Structure 1
Amino acid sequence: GLYHDDMEINIPGFWFATWYDVSISPNLALYNHVRANAKDASVRDNQYLVIAPTLHCAYKRAQENTIVGELSVGDARLNYDEQIYGWFDLWLKGDTNDFKSKTPKVQYYTMGSNQWNAADTWPPKESKLQTYYLHSGGTANSLYGDGSLSLNKPSTDEKPDTFTYDPMNPVPSYGGNVCCTGNAVRGGAFDQQGMETRNDILVYTTDVLEKGIEMTGFIESTLYLSSDVKDTDLTIKLIDVHPDGSAYNLDETIQRVRYREGYDQEVFMENGKVYKVDLTPMATSNFFKAGHRIRIEVSSSNFPRFARNLNTGGNNYDEKVGVVATNTIHHSATYPSNVKLPILQQ
């Protein structure tokens, strides 16, 4: 349901979330909000969280070989019944038991290493944001372009990347974080290589990792956009690229540009002017093994998971005809488009 920050949550909570659920980032943000802002200290101190590597509400369907979409994430089973019964016995029956002493505040599953981990907070205190910058020679379009992602800040003269977004030919949703869509979108992790042959997807990839990296926490992203339309969308998808080239999605996000300054006001673009756009945070826990690469895709649609922006500046829901947008992503010293990745410090 819809939650507002001024609503009081005044009971202890045992939260269950999944990496491929439609609302994973908002759920984690709300968990943190209650831990920080509940008026009663006993409520703040009795919030527990489990994050499983499955689809919406499917945490108890994990198996010895758990498949999410088309990717195996290993043995993701957990003693759910024991923990849930212990929780209810503690709070509903008033039993004195060992739930609090045995149960971490946060239990989360790290894909890639395929193991359960525990922390006192989300994200874990050891997780620190590192800024990765977008680079290219001006042709990051598709898997075959020259886009790259690195810790190096961009130079002053880097050429931007331009793509055409036609709302009559949007990028199709392929896997991802979904719920309750029937057969419209099949959720989970799928190899994105076929999707990445489209020229309306910009692809930015790190060099091959010499050693493994665990990414655990919220992912923040900032893009600098210019366009020839009043309004459009920006999308980002986070990808784990395997040594054989297969590219599995971890999370995805979108921002309607007219709401870049807040959802209480519409601010339209002027043709050619560059705008800073902060996208809604993503979240994951994934171990990128040595030999893998980290990738992001940037586009303007992910349909039908997200409604298409017809680029008109109108309501969209009562319109039939869209406008083709020419969208440009800038990445330079002046416009340093980037993603902040939560790297676990070992």
Structure 2
Amino acid sequence: MKKLSILTSFSIICLFLASFHSIAQSDILKELKDIAIIDQKVMIPMRDGVRLAADVYRPKTDKKVPIIFARTPYNFNNWVDGKEITTIRVKKALEAVKRGYAYVVQNERGRYFSEGEWDILGVPVTDGYDTFTWMKNQPWSNGKIGTYGCSSSAEWQMAVAALDHPSHAAMIAQGYGAGIGRIDDIYEQGNWYRGGVVQMSFMAWLYRVEHDKFKPRIPEGATQEDLIRISRFYDLDPENPYVDFAEAFKHLPIQDGIKNINGKSEIFDKMIRRKPNDPAWYEGGLYHDDMEIGVPSFWFASWYDISITPNLALFNHIRNTTKDPEIRDNQYLIISPNLHCGFIRGTSENTMIGELNVGDARLNYNEQMYAWFDFWLKGEQNDFKDKTPRVQYYTMGSNKWQGSEVWPPENAKPTTYYLNSNGNANSLYGDGTLTTTKVKTDNSDSFTYDPMLPVPSFGGTPCCNDNILRGGAFDHQQTEIRDDILIYTTDVLEDGIEVTGFIESTLYVSSDVKDTDFTIKLIDVHPDGKAYNLDETIQRARYREGYDKEVFMKKGKVYKIDLTPMSTSNYFKKGHRIRIEISSSNFPRFARNLNTGGNNYDEKEGIVAHNKIHHSSKYPSQISLPIITK
């Protein structure tokens, strides 16, 4: 009887919470219905005849209104078991309508109720352009369209913005790195690569989101009435079987990774074979630096996002190279202390990034976004440009928001720190140092990299796999006991140092294999010894001379490797120390190099590499920190 009583009480509590949540949802939907004209499953025709599904929410007014447009590969069907439910997009629609905007959300080609075939960032860029034209021509539209969204809802915006549709008046792109292809020397190709190394997050993401080729399909030509009715019964949102990706990521060859877990593997199979400069990267929806964005843009980035450096590089590229001075002058940027799209979920007076408290990181994101849209879509002469810094960035350590006209701030001065040791920088217990004094001795540090025993990923900047790769700042002391990690640390700081900007690093390396990888992390060491990671990067040796060619190593020969820049804004307090970690793996954050010189993606067996980091007057391995001088 006691067990029954406990179960009964638990059931009552669950029913109460469900009822409370349902009431809250109903209140939001009732309010939206009271003020909005709702038009669901509107099938918008593209130039090739394919129709894309959209939901339209607009104010009950005779006046023409501007449009906030979100486009997504994710499900936004708001019906379950015949009852409406609230999603984040319904809440956004309510806020937009309250503020006098129409809110249009559309599924990408081939997703859910949209017709056609889906291909991640491979659908026609003209789909966005054609949708703009359709929205502009609606009798309730004032002809001004603002695009908005984070992650997948942001990544398509840049390439379409380069088409310069006359109605595309402004955009807000947040966590947008997977839409960036090539930016100068950075070839991440939509976050697929870093330094020529595959980022493994996409394997798990594709498994979760790619619909099977045998999925139920709505017949082409279905009426809007049919689609609305069907959406009440069929959500078209499959839930794939659970996969332990901690084990799945280990499978070799990598090309069979999704096939091994019974996922739909066509897109992954195709992309895993592409090299960093494959022509196929330039045929889809990625933005590249030979495309000119013609839209005023408000960018949102995060210190612990998967692609902070290319995000900041894109902002600078537009400001420095765009021909139209008005577009150059209307680029704004926020850099928050969050994981991927973390600012959407909000911050608090005790913002936690991983296990590190970075203080009160709250900011009036929403007010700024609508002030931006009000200025460009409604023509309101508000004070956005007068009171908003060009770049708003959060400095961890000092835990405060700061502003700058340029990135990095003008008063950030590059300061070179040199790697040094007596030949034993291995692990936390080694003798590696980091100093501004040039090295006079001729030393090197050796370590063994076994691809079957890689350095495990810990914190950092992964994306979208919170239960597999936890992003953020974590104490690295537990991993720093490994001998295959070289550690270089400054003396205890007598004064605090603010590091804000791009962190450049150059390593002089040698190996006994044809090809291997080199990783680096920037660490803030606290007085109690806790070592919190700030950013990380990696470089595949074969691409050290560029991504258009592969140049293999010769045994024992020393090579210079410039790694992709890291980025941060962090105040190293008095009593702290600055540290870098160097190794050859960071798995499963990045795919393992099997050290053979082969394709890697189609190989099952690896070989052990014996790698060296050289530091001397001839081989000055170093890291350049942008230190703020005030």
What TM-score, normalized to structure 2? Answer: 0.54
Aligned to 1:197, the other structure's residue is in SS state: coil
Aligned to 1:177, the other structure's residue is in SS state: coil
Q: How does 1:257-336 map onto structure 2 within 5 Å? A: 257-336=541-620
**Amino acid of the residue matched to residue 287 of structure 1?**
Y
Task: Name the residue aligned to 1:200.
Answer: 484
Q: Which runs of 5+ in 1 are unaligned?
A: none
Which one of 231, 234, 243 corresponds to residue 518 of structure 2?
234
Task: Name the residue aligned to 1:139.
Answer: 424
Mapped partners of 2:517, 2:377: distance in 1: 46
**Amino acid of the residue matched to residue 384 of structure 2?**
F
**Amino acid of the residue matched to residue 205 of structure 1?**
T
**Amino acid of the residue matched to residue 381 of structure 2?**
T
Question: Do structure 1's residue 341 and structure 2's residue 613 form an aligned pair?
Answer: no
Mapped partners of 1:142, 1:31: distance in 2: 37
Give every structure 1 segment of 4 or more consecutive aligned residues whose post-TM-superposition deviation is greater than 3 Å. none
Which one of 380, 387, 391 corresponds to residue 102 of structure 1?
387
Aligned to 2:374, the other structure's residue is in SS state: helix
**Shift of the alpha carbon at 1:178?**
1.4
Mapped partners of 2:606, 2:310: distance in 1: 30
**Shift of the alpha carbon at 1:92?**
1.1
Task: Name the residue aligned to 2:240.
Answer: none
Given that residues 135 and 158 in structure 1 are in contact (C-alpha distance below 8 angstroms), is that contact kept between their aligned partners in structure 2?
Answer: no
**Shift of the alpha carbon at 1:35?**
0.5
**Shift of the alpha carbon at 1:158?**
2.8
Task: Name the residue aligned to 1:29.
Answer: 313
**Shift of the alpha carbon at 1:182?**
4.6
Which one of 286, 289, 299 corresponds to residue 5 of structure 1?
289
Moved more, 141-150 or 181-190: 181-190
Q: Which runs of 5+ in 2 are unaligned?
A: 1-178, 182-286
**Shift of the alpha carbon at 1:95?**
1.1
Specify which structure has the higher proportion of helix: 2
Q: How does 1:26-175 map onto structure 2 within 5 Å? A: 26-60=310-344, 61-155=346-440, 157-175=441-459
Residues 218-257 of structure 1: CA deviation (Å, up to 9, x unaligned): 0000000000000000000000000000000000000001
Mapped partners of 2:594, 2:329: distance in 1: 46
Mapped partners of 1:178, 1:103: distance in 2: 30
Residues 8-51 of structure 1: CA deviation (Å, up to 9, x unaligned): 11101000000000000000000000001112110000000000
Given that residues 168 and 322 in structure 1 are in contact (C-alpha distance below 8 angstroms), is that contact kept between their aligned partners in structure 2?
Answer: yes
Residues 182-239 of structure 1: CA deviation (Å, up to 9, x unaligned): 5221000000001100000000000000000000000000000000000000000000
Mapped partners of 1:59, 1:238: distance in 2: 23
Mapped partners of 1:18, 1:85: distance in 2: 20
Q: How does 1:238-249 map onto structure 2 within 5 Å? A: 238-249=522-533
Question: Do structure 1's residue 188 and structure 2's residue 188 form an aligned pair?
Answer: no
Mapped partners of 2:626, 2:382: distance in 1: 35
Mapped partners of 1:182, 1:217: distance in 2: 27
Given that residues 134 and 149 in structure 1 are in contact (C-alpha distance below 8 angstroms), is that contact kept between their aligned partners in structure 2?
Answer: yes
Query: Percent identity among equivalent residues?
Result: 71
**Amino acid of the residue matched to residue 419 of structure 2?**
L
Given that residues 137 and 158 in structure 1 are in contact (C-alpha distance below 8 angstroms), is that contact kept between their aligned partners in structure 2?
Answer: no
Mapped partners of 2:529, 2:312: distance in 1: 31
Q: C-alpha root-mean-square deviation of aligned residues, in Å?
A: 0.7
Mapped partners of 1:35, 1:228: distance in 2: 44
Given that residues 239 and 296 in structure 1 are in contact (C-alpha distance below 8 angstroms), is that contact kept between their aligned partners in structure 2?
Answer: yes
Residues 310-334 of structure 1: CA deviation (Å, up to 9, x unaligned): 0000111100100100000000000
Mapped partners of 1:76, 1:158: distance in 2: 45
Mapped partners of 1:81, 1:31: distance in 2: 21
Aligned to 2:385, the other structure's residue is in SS state: helix
Which one of 236, 242, 250 corresponds to residue 534 of structure 2?
250
**Amino acid of the residue matched to residue 352 of structure 2?**
I
Aligned to 1:196, the other structure's residue is in SS state: coil
Mapped partners of 1:237, 1:265: distance in 2: 26
Given that residues 301 and 308 in structure 1 are in contact (C-alpha distance below 8 angstroms), is that contact kept between their aligned partners in structure 2?
Answer: yes
Mapped partners of 2:462, 2:358: distance in 1: 18
Task: Name the residue aligned to 1:219.
Answer: 503
Mapped partners of 1:12, 1:302: distance in 2: 37
Residues 252-305 of structure 1: CA deviation (Å, up to 9, x unaligned): 000001000000000000000000000000000000000000000000000011
**Amino acid of the residue matched to residue 498 of structure 2?**
E
Residues 111-169 of structure 1: CA deviation (Å, up to 9, x unaligned): 000000000000000001000000000000000000000000001x3320000000000
**Amino acid of the residue matched to residue 339 of structure 2?**
L
**Shift of the alpha carbon at 1:308?**
0.5
**Amino acid of the residue matched to residue 310 of structure 1?**
L
Mapped partners of 1:90, 1:307: distance in 2: 45
**Amino acid of the residue matched to residue 263 of structure 1?**
Y
Aligned to 2:476, the other structure's residue is in SS state: coil
Mapped partners of 2:413, 2:430: distance in 1: 30
Specify which structure has the higher proportion of strand: 1
Aligned to 1:236, the other structure's residue is in SS state: strand
Given that residues 136 and 158 in structure 1 are in contact (C-alpha distance below 8 angstroms), is that contact kept between their aligned partners in structure 2?
Answer: no
Mapped partners of 2:468, 2:310: distance in 1: 23
**Shift of the alpha carbon at 1:181?**
2.6
Aligned to 2:443, the other structure's residue is in SS state: coil
